[in-house]
Chain A
Amino acid sequence: MQHHLLPGDAVVLHAERILDPSQRLDGPGAALLLDGRIAAIGEREAVERRLAELHLPPERLRTIRLAEREILAPGFVDLHTHLREPGFEAKETIASGAAAAAHGGFTTLCCMPNTQPVLDSRAALEYVRSAARDVPARVRPIAAITKGESGLELSEMAELVETGAVAFSDDGRPVHSSRLMRLALTYAAPLGVPVVEHCQDEELVGAGVMNEGHIATLLGLPGWPAAGEDVMLARDLALVRLTGARYHAAHLSTAGAVELIRQAKREGLPVTAEVTPHHLLLTESWVAGERTGPLAEALAEMGVALPAGERYDTAAKVNPPLRTAADCAALLAGLRDGTIDAIATDHAPHTWQDKACEFGEAAFGISGLETALAALLALVHTQRLDLATLIAALTARPAAAWGLDAGTLAPGASADLVVFAPDETWTVDPEQFASRGKNTPLAGITLRGRVRQTWLGGASVYDAAE
């Protein structure tokens, strides 16, 4: 059921549970959507009073009662998405990536600039804006720190912010030169947007393709040591201390990085950080087809059997790499205590050919938008994480971290929302993905929790019932 609304039409959604951490809202209630925005939200009586004041003719009002146990929340905000367009349309397009977002409950995507051409110019950002005009998600571009992500010269940052860049990153590559990173932080500081680092000391990591440790030794694969992340983050934090600029660490993967961010926040440095669902949930053993770590343990507790994995599973090849159970535990602790601000997907779609090859040759990345919520809910179902913390890390906290106008259902906000059924089980079948990237290590795994509806600007953009 598509909701073709006319200006002035209103929708009232009644839910058993509305969960909006931005307003500390958690309970039964209703939301009134008018002209693409939230007009009222909260207790049913209050919303109905507000509705009565509008004196709407009945044909201009739709009333929707969500099913039992369905939860209404703000649409999710992803600070780290690879949409691949322009340049790599076989992997994903802005339209297919946005469709994947709608399937996964995400309504705001911050897309990474490692496209071809790189998002380092006004023209490239305007291309993204025009390609994103009619897609079912809000696309907010992240521009490159350096021209062509070459690490040599700063991009025209001021103009890029004017053109809509919400952050800067050379994601996929770190800024190798300490001097250039210092200059980037200094130059970006007055522009009011964060500099986002992919923390990887390239010399230390070298040709590493998976976490350095037992599994890499067994499989004979070059290791990517945890210190490769910690070293770069420690350097950057020294530069943040020097410049006072806003800094955001992408996809934390190590216990050491969590501790560095914790200390930096305690010191009062203007830093934020994100973690991906896969780094929270999966360990390096997945590369060897041995499924251990929080997701495997949670699913076992839930009585779900995992299908056997395969050795050299290229679907589990990701950068930074999946690490150890101890790293997963530290990341979860960091999420719980607020050290980590956001869960970001690092959605990295690839073609079949990119992954159907030898492990060392395969592309890094996981197609994550459509499995994020369901996979993360395993932590909630098994009392490892509470639902409000999870939803906050997908909505209000990422929005606050980057100052985005998103992630809230407060009156006046854009009516971007998700409805999900926390107990609905389904089996991940990548062929059903809206994303062109079918690359997921979760294929064939049964998860509990599913997005039922996604709304963008007061209009339905995804409905699982259709």
Chain B
Amino acid sequence: MQTVIAGRETTATERIAARRHLLDLDDWRPDELLAVMTRAEAMLRVCQRADKLETLRGQVLVNLFYENSTRTRVSFELAGRRLGADITNVNASASSVAKGESLIDTAKTLQALGTGIFVIRSGQSGAADLLARHVSGTVINAGDGWHAHPSQALLDLFTLRRHLGNLAGRRVVIVGDILHSRVARSNVWSLTAMGAQVVLCGPPTLLPAAARALYAERPVPGIELTRCVTVESCLERALAGADAVMVLRLQRERQQAGLLPSLREYTARWGLTPERLRLARPGAPVLHPGPMNEGVEIDAAVAHGAASVIEEQVSNGVAVRMAVLDLLAGKEARA
């Protein structure tokens, strides 16, 4: 990463523009994350005014989705439109991709058609990295396998900061199927970069081994802060004194694959109920990336209760994605 231009320190905004892609947040510095937050605040005001900007005018943005996801696709689509981009959606599971066309061939074709911004969602970890190596435009990872979902983590960070302010020293519990969760993986990078303590909680069969050591070995770039991640399979212990709770969707296939004895036992041990939520600090916000299985990982009373910020996450998502698109591919970034 270039940190000096013409003898002066680069700004966070310049460094984000130099990245060109949003693949994951593992190497993002706190000041860069804050620059996204600041831009997202401005974008949120644009949204609230029902206004539009022109920063992506003339650019073609393709939503290249190998997995179905209405909410993420619509969120990127609205974000792109508000910035003036031309948008195309490619449902890759129903196109020539299903006939064996490779990701690289598809990307080259879309590039030849004028695409400058690729928003990709794939069931394969590393799909966005692969795409970024083969196209000249901007690649935004809208979720790849179990690996990363950085725009989700940025909107989670934005939402948390609106409720908690500075996250340094705050205890954020992520509960659910951590092992298979790209949302959890990306959130670990951004939350720990902001100084939060992350507690990963879930059934032992759905937790990665040695997560604490793994993240401790990878300090936050720029400030060399040691990342603080702990693993706790008991939800009550995890929630004690928590400042925020992030609940993950439980895929029903996990039970069929034998990773769980039953959904009943999962809900009994790891479902977020009003009683359990009382173990957290008063007012601790509850997040969920959606879509929810109410009554499985989250009780309806929590999902729709006072602590829930789940709908706010969705509306913040558009502003945060606008900020990301603008910082990576907007007029200023291309100047």
Contacts and interface: CB of A to CB of B under 8 A. Distances in A.
Nearest to A353: B102
B198 to A, nearest CB: 14
Interface in B113-140: 122, 124-127, 129-130, 133
A360 B129 contact: no
Contacts of A359: 124-126, 130
Contacts of A222: 146
Given A359-B124, A360-B124, A220 B130 contact: no
Contacts of B208: 217
B145 A221 contact: yes
Nearest to B133: A310
Nearest to A311: B129
B185 interface: yes
Contacts of B145: 220-221, 360
A312 B102 contact: no
A219 interface: yes
Given A219-B125, A220-B185, A221-B145, A357 B103 contact: yes
A221 B103 contact: no
Q: Tell me if A's interface is mostly helix, strand, loop or mixed.
A: loop
B317 to A, nearest CB: 21
Nearest to B213: A214
A153 interface: no
Contacts of B147: 219-221
Nearest to A216: B208
A358 B122 contact: yes
Given A312-B126, A358-B103, A360-B124, A220 B148 contact: yes
Give the size range of B's interface with the partner. Answer: 20 to 34
Interface in B248-263: none
Contacts of A311: 126, 129
Nearest to A212: B209
B104 A356 contact: yes
A386 interface: no
Contacts of A312: 125-126, 129-130
A360 B125 contact: yes
Contacts of A358: 103, 122, 124-127, 130
| Residue from B103, B125, B213 having most chain A Cβ neighbours under 10 A | B125
A361 interface: yes
Given A219-B125, A220-B144, A357 B130 contact: yes
Contacts of B5: none
A220 B127 contact: no
A218 interface: yes
A358 B124 CA distance: 6
B146 A221 contact: yes
B182 interface: yes
B6 interface: no
Interface string B134-171: 00000000001111100000000000000000000000
B127 to A, nearest CB: 5
Contacts of B182: 220
A217 B207 CA distance: 10
Nearest to A206: B257
Contact of A217 (B102, B103, B129, B209): B209
A143 B103 CA distance: 37
Nearest to A215: B214
A214 B210 contact: yes
Given A214-B214, A220-B147, A311-B126, A357 B209 contact: no
Contact of B124 (A212, A310, A361): A361
Contact of B126 (A212, A214, A219): A219
Interface residues of A, number: 19
Interface in A195-227: 212-214, 217-222
A357 B214 contact: no
A357 B125 contact: no
B211 interface: yes
A220 B210 CA distance: 14
Contacts of A221: 125-126, 145-147
Contacts of B213: 214
Nearest to B185: A220
Interface in B38-85: none
Contacts of B214: 214, 217-218
B177 to A, nearest CB: 12
Interface in B169-222: 182, 185, 208-211, 213-214, 217
Interface string A299-323: 0000000000011100000000000
Contacts of B26: 218
A220 B182 CA distance: 7
A213 B213 CA distance: 11
| Residue from B103, B124, B217 having most chain A Cβ neighbours under 10 A | B124
Given A219-B147, A220-B146, A220-B148, A356 B102 contact: yes
A219 B124 CA distance: 11
A379 to B, nearest CB: 26
B211 A217 contact: yes
Contacts of B129: 310-312
A311 B21 CA distance: 14
A396 B312 CA distance: 70
Interface string A335-374: 0000000000000000001001111110000000000000
B31 to A, nearest CB: 23
Nearest to B184: A220
Interface in A217-253: 217-222
A216 to B, nearest CB: 9
Contacts of A361: 124
A341 to B, nearest CB: 33
A357 B147 CA distance: 16
Contacts of A217: 208-211, 214
A163 B229 CA distance: 60
Nearest to B189: A218
Contacts of B122: 358
Interface string A368-385: 000000000000000000
A218 B179 CA distance: 10
A160 B122 CA distance: 46
A357 B210 contact: no
Interface in A403-444: none
Interface string B213-246: 1100100000000000000000000000000000
B328 to A, nearest CB: 19
A356 B129 CA distance: 12
Nearest to B23: A311
The 10 closest A-B pairs by CB, nearest first: A220-B147, A312-B126, A220-B146, A358-B124, A220-B125, A217-B208, A359-B126, A214-B214, A360-B124, A358-B127
9 contacts: A214-B210, A217-B208, A219-B126, A221-B125, A221-B146, A221-B147, A353-B102, A357-B103, A359-B124
Given A359-B130, A361-B124, 16 more contacts: A214-B210, A217-B208, A218-B185, A219-B126, A219-B147, A220-B146, A221-B125, A311-B126, A311-B129, A312-B125, A353-B102, A358-B126, A359-B124, A359-B126, A360-B124, A360-B126
